[in-house]
């Protein structure tokens, strides 16, 4: 254990670990542990996206979409088991602003209305009613939206239950079925359309 990287903190003050902020909050029903993406991680992710898009100035929209989609998907999948709905909205908003800047530099003499008509369409998969999804006009590839990623909570095992107890076979089968049914199936619902 590295002493310079070790510190003892109160769980009420919270701490950052592996890109998440872990903190205990007092609620009307007692205490609740909240794990969400840390501010530092979100800030670094925004900076990374801004720099990647800036590096592609002069390229077409298809190249930007091809470069950004794996980054957006990877970050969304890493954050989705935690409290991340607000973070997803914040990231989507940041990406929208970055892409609007990119498009206005690409077409300096065109109006925002023309840019919107040329590059933004509704979700072609039909999962979402969002009309502001960046779309490549050549091949109709669309930029991923973080709020379309389903939040999947970990299902806790009840106190003192063990998979080795033969009398609990039904419990663990139901639990496994519930967990498997909550996994993404390609038919996710857009969170921004639900709010």
pLDDT number for residue 19:
92
Going from the C-alpha of 173 to that of each of 49, 117, 162, the distances in angstroms are 42, 50, 12
Q: Do residues 133 and 145 lie in contact, with contact meaning Cβ atoms separated by under 8 Å?
A: yes
C-alpha–C-alpha distance, residues 141 and 134, integer Å: 8
Q: What share of the chain is helix, strand, coil (3-state, %, to 5)?
A: 50, 15, 40
Spell out the per-residue pLDDT of the chain, length 195, in tens.
677 777 788 888 888 889 999 999 888 888 888 899 999 999 999 999 999 999 998 889 999 999 999 999 999 999 998 999 999 999 999 999 999 999 999 999 999 999 999 999 998 887 778 888 999 999 989 999 999 888 887 777 777 777 788 888 888 888 777 656 655 544 444 444 444
Q: Do residues 69 and 143 lie in contact, with contact meaning Cβ atoms separated by under 8 Å?
A: yes
- At residue 122, what are phi and psi to the nearest 5 degrees? -75, 165
pLDDT number for residue 7:
76
Q: Do residues 47 and 109 lie in contact, with contact meaning Cβ atoms separated by under 8 Å?
A: no
pLDDT number for residue 193:
46
Going from the C-alpha of 45 to that of each of 37, 41, 56, 128, 190, the distances in angstroms are 11, 6, 17, 24, 21
- At residue 187, what are phi and psi to the nearest 5 degrees? -115, 40
Q: Do residues 124 and 140 lie in contact, with contact meaning Cβ atoms separated by under 8 Å?
A: yes
Residue 118 is inside which H or E element, if any?
A: helix 112-119
């Amino acid at each position: 254990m590295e002493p310079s990287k070790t510190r003892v903190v109160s769980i009420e003050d919270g701490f950052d670990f592996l890109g998440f902020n872990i903190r205990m909050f007092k609620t009307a029903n007692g205490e609740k542990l909240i794990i969400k993406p840390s501010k530092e991680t979100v800030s670094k992710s925004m900076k990374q996206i801004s720099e990647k898009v800036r590096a592609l100035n002069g390229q077409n929209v298809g190249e930007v979409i091809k470069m950004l989609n794996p980054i957006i998907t990877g970050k969304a999948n890493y954050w989705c088991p935690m409290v991340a709905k607000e973070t997803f909205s914040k990231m989507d908003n940041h990406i929208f602003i970055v892409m609007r800047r990119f498009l206005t530099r690409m077409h300096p003499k065109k109006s925002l209305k023309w840019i919107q008509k040329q590059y933004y369409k509704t979700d072609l998969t039909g999962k979402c009613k969002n009309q502001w999804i960046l779309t490549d006009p050549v091949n109709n590839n669309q930029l991923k939206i973080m709020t379309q990623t389903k939040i999947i909570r970990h299902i806790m095992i009840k106190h003192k239950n063990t998979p080795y107890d033969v009398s609990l076979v039904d419990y663990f089968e139901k639990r496994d079925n519930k967990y498997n049914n909550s996994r993404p199936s390609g038919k996710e619902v857009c969170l921004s359309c639900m709010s």
